[in-house]
């Protein structure tokens, strides 16, 4: 199945000055947005109040969330606890609730009573099972752990590509991965979408998804370099992008359809994951086509870099 002709010759490398300029602009703009507007961290990172509510009869998560929103508890996170009668609720105290005193101490009694009063409007069988305060220190630790995880993923990818291909491929891949992550986070900062643990997981998934297509293109580059006798690097890189273009578009399209289905039918709890993945798919696909190969060309990749080492075998060394 192909969308584009396998032997098409769209001059992607001829547009490299514009594509690299746009990529650099997007990275700088994303850094500026993250620094000025910042990410809209959710309760997972900022802390708040966590409660477990038990019902005598089955309850729908959507109904609980709607009841809390009507009561003024905006952006409350409601999740099922393995059954149909017990739910976990995480939220920030209402601004007009005066649940935080001058010393910064949170009045859990006042918040719990207000939440139960709100829930009793819709269901009188709601009972408070437990409550606790989630501090901002926990959120800071999650931010730190998430950053470390992303760095280790990128470094692992770099090491893998350095071993499998050559150092120029590793450098090009890491540069585009940093581009993809920064632009994705920049768009989230611009839109001020909530950044919670599912979004963090999605950002890590974007890193893995993005490198997948780049490895396919890199494989094709290595194959064509070894088959071609006199072709210039720019021609090889351009042919590689064109040869894999249909595969790139089809993979991205069907992954995007899956994320769209997750967004519309998976419930609000996974909206952040689906939206972040959709952004990452678009950014990662474009960087695979317009950014990775121009960086390789700029780094001076050549056929000599990709030929097998043949010092120990004179017979292999004489082969073309």
- pLDDT tens-digit series, residues 132-152: 887 767 677 878 888 888 888
Written as six digits, the tokens of 34 are 């993250």
Residues 6+ apart with CB under 8 A from 85: 54, 55, 56, 57, 58, 59
- pLDDT tens-digit series, residues 74-106: 778 888 877 788 998 888 776 655 566 555 567
What is the value of pTM for the model shown? 0.80
Question: Where does the chain have alpha helices with state H?
Answer: 16-36, 43-46, 61-70, 108-122, 136-164, 167-191, 197-227, 233-243, 245-265, 271-290, 292-299, 303-306, 314-317
- pLDDT tens-digit series, residues 262-320: 998 887 778 889 999 999 999 999 999 999 999 988 988 777 766 655 555 554 444 44
Structural domains for the chain: 13-40+138-306 (1.20.1640.10), 48-134 (3.30.70.3400)
Show the CA angle centred on residue 210, arms to residues 208 and 41, nearest 5°.
70
Q: How many CB atoms lie within 10 A of CB 36?
A: 8
């Amino acid at each position: 199945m192909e969308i584009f002709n396998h032997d098409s010759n769209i001059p992607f490398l001829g547009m490299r000055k514009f594509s690299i300029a746009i990529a650099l602009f997007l990275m700088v703009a994303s850094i500026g947005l993250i620094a000025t507007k910042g990410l809209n961290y959710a309760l997972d990172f900022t802390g708040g109040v966590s409660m477990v509510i038990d019902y005598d009869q089955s309850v729908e998560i959507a109904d609980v969330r709607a009841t809390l929103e009507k009561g003024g508890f905006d952006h409350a996170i409601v999740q099922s606890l393995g059954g149909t009668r017990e739910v976990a609720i995480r939220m920030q105290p209402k601004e007009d609730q005066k649940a935080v005193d001058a010393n910064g101490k949170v009045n859990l009694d006042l918040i719990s009573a207000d939440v139960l009063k709100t829930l009793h409007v819709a269901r009188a069988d709601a009972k408070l099972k437990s409550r606790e305060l989630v501090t901002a220190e926990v959120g800071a630790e999650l931010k730190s752990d998430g950053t470390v995880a992303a760095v280790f993923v990128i470094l692992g990818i770099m090491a893998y590509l350095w071993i499998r291909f050559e150092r120029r491929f590793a450098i090009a891949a890491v540069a585009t991965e940093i581009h993809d992550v920064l632009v994705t986070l920049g768009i989230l900062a611009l839109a001020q979408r909530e950044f919670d643990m599912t979004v963090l997981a999605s950002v890590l998934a974007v890193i893995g998804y993005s490198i997948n297509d780049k490895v396919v293109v890199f494989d094709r580059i290595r194959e064509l370099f070894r088959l071609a006798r006199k072709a210039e690097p720019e021609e090889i890189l351009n042919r590689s992008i064109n040869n894999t273009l249909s595969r790139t578009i089809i993979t991205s399209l069907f992954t995007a359809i899956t994320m769209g289905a997750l967004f519309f039918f998976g419930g609000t709890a996974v909206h952040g994951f689906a939206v972040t993945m959709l952004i990452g798919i678009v950014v990662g696909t474009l960087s695979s086509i317009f950014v990775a190969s121009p960086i390789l060309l700029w780094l001076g990749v050549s056929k000599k870099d990709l030929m097998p080492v043949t010092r120990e075998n004179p017979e292999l060394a004489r082969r073309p």
